[in-house]
Chains A and B, each alone.
Chain A
Amino acid sequence: MKRNKIMLSILAVATLITGGLIYAADHIDAPAVTGQSSDITDLYVFRAQDPNNLVFVANTQGLLAPGATAAAKFDANTIIEFNIDNNADNIEDLVIQCKYDAASNMMQVYGPILPSEKGLRSKLEGSVTASAMVTPYGSAAITGTGSTGIKVFAGPRDDPFFFDLTQYQKILGGMATGFNNPGTDTFAGSNVLSLVVEVPKTLLNSSGSISVWVETKKKI
C-alpha cells in the first residue's frame, strides 16, 4: 500500500516534470532572435513601492542565455494585454494593452480602459497613456511615466522565476525520489523580456480585489 502510494507520488512528480519540460522546452526552442514574443512565461501582480499603485509584470521569451539576450526583440505584431475583472465574473472590465512600435523602439501602453471588444479578439482601445523606449541589453533601465501616473518599463531582465527543474528531471528519469536540500535554481543566469506597468489604483475601478490574467494576441 505504502509502496503504491510512493510509486503514485513518483508518477505524479514525473508528470509534473513532463509539464515543466514542455514549459522549459518552449523557451529553449524559441529562437533567441526576433518575432517569437507570444510565449508568456510569467505573470506577477503586486503592490508597488508607492502603496497607492499596483504593478503588473508580464514576462515573455524565457530561458534567454546572456549571449542571446541582446538579439531578443519584442514583436510589433503582438500585443501583450493585461485583463482585469472587477466583479468576479471572469470577464474583463478593463484592459491594459501594450504594443511595441518598431520604428520608434517604444513600448506603448493603452488603458486601463473598458474594451469595446472582449474575449479572444481585441483591437487597441483609446490612446497611448504611457510609453518608454525599450531598454537595450546592458543599459540601465529606461522608464517612462504617462500623464495619469502610469509607469512602464520594457526590456531584458533576469528571469525572476526559480525552480529546481534539473532535480525534477532526475526524479522523472528514476534517478532520484525527492528533492535535494538545498536545491539548484535551473533558471539561474537566464533572462526574459520583461514588461512592467505600474498603475495608480484609482484607475482600476476596484472595490478591493481584482482578478487578472495576461494574454498575447497577434495581428490578424
Chain B
Amino acid sequence: MKTAIKLIAIVLGSTLIAASCKKGDDTPAPTVYYQQQDQMGRPAVNTVFNVGNSDKDAFNVTTPANMNAAFQAKFQARLLALNAGYTTNALGQTPAQLSGLLATDVLGASTTGVTTFFDGNPANTLSGRTLADDVIDVELLLIFGGPTGASNPGLTKDNVNANDKPFSATFPYLAAPF
C-alpha cells in the first residue's frame, strides 16, 4: 500500500514535471484520462461467484492486486453454497485454494509453450485460452465434479463442445459474422 502511494507520488510528480516543461507551448493539450468500466480475466468468474449487483460492480473496478483481499472469502462461501458437498476437485484444490485462484481474476498465459485453459494435461492448465477451449465445461467440472470429476455427472458438462463456425488458422482467427 505504502509502495503504491509512493508510486502514485512519483507518477504524479513526473506528470507535473512533464506539464511544467510544456509551459512554453501556446496550446498545451490537457491530458485525457480514461476511467475503468469493466474488466475480466477468466470467463464467467464475476457472474458466477459474485452475488448481487453491488459486488459485481465492485469487482469490475477492483484492481487484480486487491481482489484477493476483497473477494476470496466471499468466493469460498459462494463455492460452498454452489456445491455443499465440495471437498476437492480434479486439480486437488481445497475450497480455499480454488476460491483463492479465482478471486484474482487474471488469465495466465505461457509465452513459451502450449496455450490452453485446460486440455487434459495438468501441466498445461491455465496457460492461456484458445477460441476452441470448452471453458464452461472446465469450470463446471472444477466446481461440481469432485476429486475424480465423476460427481454430479449431469451438471459437469453442457454437451456443447465446439463453436458453431470453424475458426481460421490465420489472423484474425475468429470466424466471419453471421
Which residue in chain B gives the minimum CB-CB distance to A19?
B47
B residues 33-86 in Cβ contact with A at 8 Å: 33-41, 43-44, 47-48, 56, 61, 63-65, 67, 81-85
Contacts of A198 in B (CB 8 A): 171
- Most chain B beta-carbon neighbours within 10 Å: one of A43, A69, A79, A164: A43
Interface window among B7-15, B20-28, B89-97: B7-15
Judge if B32 is at the interface, Cβ distance under 8 Å. Answer: yes
- Chain A residues touching B, range: 35 or more
Q: Residues of B within 8 Å of A, CB-based: how many?
A: 76
Judge if B31 is at the interface, Cβ distance under 8 Å. Answer: yes
Shortest Cβ gap from A118 to chain B (Å): 7
- Most chain B beta-carbon neighbours within 10 Å: one of A69, A119, A143: A119
Partner of B83, one of A8, A45, A177, A210: A8
Partner of B82, one of A16, A116, A143, A178: A16
Shortest Cβ gap from A122 to chain B (Å): 5
Q: Are B33 and A209 in contact (CB under 8 A)?
A: no
Q: Are B112 and A215 in contact (CB under 8 A)?
A: no
Partner of B155, one of A9, A123, A124, A213: A9
Contacts of A48 in B (CB 8 A): 171
Partner of A163, one of B35, B63, B136, B176: B136
What are the 9 closest A-B residue pairs judged by CB atoms, nearest first? A178-B154, A217-B34, A153-B172, A19-B47, A183-B159, A188-B164, A12-B82, A157-B174, A90-B64
Q: Are B131 and A90 in contact (CB under 8 A)?
A: no
Q: Are B11 and A117 in contact (CB under 8 A)?
A: yes
Q: Are B83 and A180 in contact (CB under 8 A)?
A: no
Mark A187-219 against chain B: 1 for CB-CB distance below 8 A, else 0: 111110010101001001010111111111111
